[in-house]
Structure 1
Amino acid sequence: MPRSDRLFDLIQLLRDGRLHRAEDLGRALGVSVRTIWRDMGVLAASGLAVEGERGVGYVLRQPITLPPMMLQASEMLALRAGLRLVAEGGGELAGAARSLAGKLAGLTPGPREEGEDIFATRPEAGAARGPQLPLIRKAIRLREVLTVALLEEGRLTERDIRPLALLLEGSWVLAAWVEGQGFAALGLDLVLEVVPRGETFPRETGRRLADWRKWREEAAALPPRT
């Protein structure tokens, strides 16, 4: 059996998310345990979320497959724009965005003209957001209070915030609860510095992301100021 076919069959066996011993995998595929060890190394090197070790077993964590689909031209543009923004941001998700773009590049048509590549980004934009996005993502995940330096109407101010979510609305927007002020939608182009406070915040009714979304909808429904 060609190695490519064997690797495909190996992935199918691992898709159930259970722990599989190398001996059992080898028996199912008709190969030696040593061959399974080598194949697992190949799968792990390719980026597949395979965990385990010799003598214990192997498991495929959170395998994700997408069914065949057709994308409209506008949907493809949105996908490219989203991947570009994430790649510009730096941190752990930037590498994932580039990896995903590489997988999609072999399956979907895309611009080939110079300057139209999916990652033809503006260096200064990526540099500005690079140090901030990983810190903000981590703070959202851990529910950690941040002190942010903001440029508001030409003035530099500092605010203690509870970061709730990062949203793409043409550019990055940070959904946040600002201590002593209330909800805010902070454009990251106005955020000059982010400093973790080393303290966490609880989930409180009235200060959650769902409450922020309700606040945003109500604010959008208000008549413009004159």
Structure 2
Amino acid sequence: MQRSERLAEIVEIVRDGRLHLARDIANALEVSVRTIYRDIDTLVASGVPIDGERGVGYLLREPIFLPPMALSFTELEALSFGMSIVQAAADTELQEAAKRVMDKVGQHASNRRQAPKSWGFGVYAFERAQEGFRHMPLIRRAIREGLKLKIDYCSLDERTSTRVIRPLQMEYWGHVWTCSAWCELRHDFRAFRIDKTAACEATGEKFQPEAGKTIEDYLKHVAEQLDRDRNRP
């Protein structure tokens, strides 16, 4: 095994969030512990966020680390198209992140001279989608961290209500964003239009995945409803 391959294997081993002893990594890769120490030092020096120390163990500090990869021009176009949508149809935090992604791609692409700055795409968000942008950073955080949210919501027939929800997923429909959630008021799944949400705040209460209230349960519920609708005479 070449050293570059071994370095990539080490990253794969420690990226699961658990602590790994150098001895165990060495046994898995059939090299000495001293070699693993040197490899870890090389990875850390190159910017890979590995935490730990000799005799204690190592883990990847950040949840996502992408090793070097080769992308075709069409794959780069697809990536650019996706990032263009994010820059036009998401909140400021995601817009800035999308721009940084494409800046990095532009800096490191080996064939930069053939790549147009826009990659041939222009995306223009609908005004209605932009109305909910102010709530999206909090909703995204609540989905990641399992936070309950209190929202003041105006339904499509203009009825207002205050709900406590467990946000599970956000969806973009080309003109509006929705948030699929478990509604504590209705004791059922609901999809809320983010642009129809007048106020949104964290309750300070967390929630844990519960059977019947997860995103997997919601998607199964939607699929079953679609099947019933298709089979209805």
Residue 219 of structure 1 is matched in structure 2 by 225
Q: 1:38-57 to 2 correspondence within 5 Å?
A: 49=49
| Shift of residue 74, structure 1, vs aligned partner | 7.7
Secondary structure of the equivalent of 2:92? coil
Q: Which amino acid letter does the alignment assign opposite residue 174 of structure 1? A: C
TM-score, reference length from structure 1? 0.60
Equivalent-residue separation in structure 2 for 1:73 and 1:14 (angstroms): 27
**TM-fit CA distance, 1:217:** 1.9
Contact 1:163/1:174 (<8 A) preserved: yes
Q: How far apart, CA to CA, are the structure 1 residues paired with 2:167 and 2:151? A: 10
2:177: which partner in 1? 172
Shift of 1:160: 1.3
Match of 2:166 among 153, 162, 165: 162
Amino acid at match of 1:99: R
Give the corresponding residue for 1:67.
69
Query: Is contact 2:132-2:197 (8 Å) kept?
Result: no
Number of aligned pairs?
199
CA contact (8 A) 1:14 1:59 kept: no
* Aligned residue in 2 for 1:4: none
Residue aligning to 1:199: 205
2:194 to 172, 188, 209: 188
Q: With structure 2 as the length reference, what TM-score do the two structures score? A: 0.59
Q: Identical aligned pairs, as a percentage?
A: 23
Q: Deviations over 1:115-134 (max 9, x none)?
A: x667x87899657413x222
Residue 151 in 1 paired to residue 122 in 2?
Answer: no
User: Equivalent residue of 2:138, what SS?
Assistant: helix
**Can you give the 5+ residue segments of structure 2 that lack an aligned partner in the other structure?**
15-19, 23-33
Deviation at 1:155, TM superposition (A): 3.1
Contact 1:145 1:162 in 2 (8 A): yes
Change (3 A) 1:129 1:180: same
Which letter does structure 2 place at the counterpart of 1:142? E
C-alpha deviation, 1:189, in angstroms? 1.7
Tell me, in whole angstroms, the C-alpha distance in 1 between the residues paired with 2:75 and 2:212: 39
C-alpha RMSD over aligned residues: 4.7
